[in-house]
């Protein structure tokens, strides 16, 4: 009975020790470490865990902290960003879709920012002979 109790208690003590060490590493004010070095330290603590599930969860959290700490490259995939910008125009009907694609490709004026709540893109297109809001004239119907 004592052997079974020791087997049940031992993993929980290891888990508590690892979580305490992980929390101490995360809470440390040592910001001079680069993210990769910090990840290596946290992963070392994770590999000391005996339980596979606890180790996997610990490594996952360490990897997540590494991903958050690394800067995101803005123009890593410029072709993909351009395709995504044009995909925003796909649900629109044809005259609006063409204007939307022109705005997404940089034509017109742009103001605002994501931080201020949104980017406003404006493109003024003038058509000769078309009066905005006018109803086209139709010939009167002939009576039989």
From the CB of residue 24, how many other CB atoms can be counted at a distance below 10 Å? 10
Phi, psi dihedrals of residue 111, rounded to the nearest 5°: -140, 165
For the chain, the domains span: 2-69, 78-122
The tens place of each residue's pLDDT in the chain, 144 residues long, gives 444 444 444 445 454 455 555 555 455 555 567 888 999 999 999 999 888 888 999 999 999 998 888 887 666 677 888 888 889 899 999 888 999 999 988 899 989 887 888 888 898 888 777 666 766 666 555 555
Mapped onto helix, strand or coil, the DSSP state of residue 62 is helix
pTM equals 0.38
CA neighbor of 44 nearest in space, from 57, 27, 58: 58
Mapped onto helix, strand or coil, the DSSP state of residue 143 is coil
């Amino acid at each position: 009975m004592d052997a079974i109790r020791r087997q049940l208690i031992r993993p929980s003590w290891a888990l508590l020790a690892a979580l305490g060490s992980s929390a101490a590493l995360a809470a440390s004010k040592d910001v001079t470490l680069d993210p990769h070095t910090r990840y290596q330290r946290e992963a070392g603590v994770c590999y000391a865990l005996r339980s596979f599930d606890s180790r996997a969860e610990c490594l996952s959290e360490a990897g997540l902290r590494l991903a958050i700490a690394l800067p995101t490259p803005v123009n890593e995939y410029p072709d993909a960003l351009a395709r995504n910008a044009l995909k925003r125009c796909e649900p629109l009907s044809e005259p609006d879709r063409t204007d939307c694609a022109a705005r997404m490709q940089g034509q017109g004026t742009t103001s605002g920012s994501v931080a201020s709540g949104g980017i406003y893109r404006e493109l003024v297109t003038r058509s000769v002979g078309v009066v905005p809001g006018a109803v086209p004239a139709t010939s009167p119907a002939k009576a039989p």
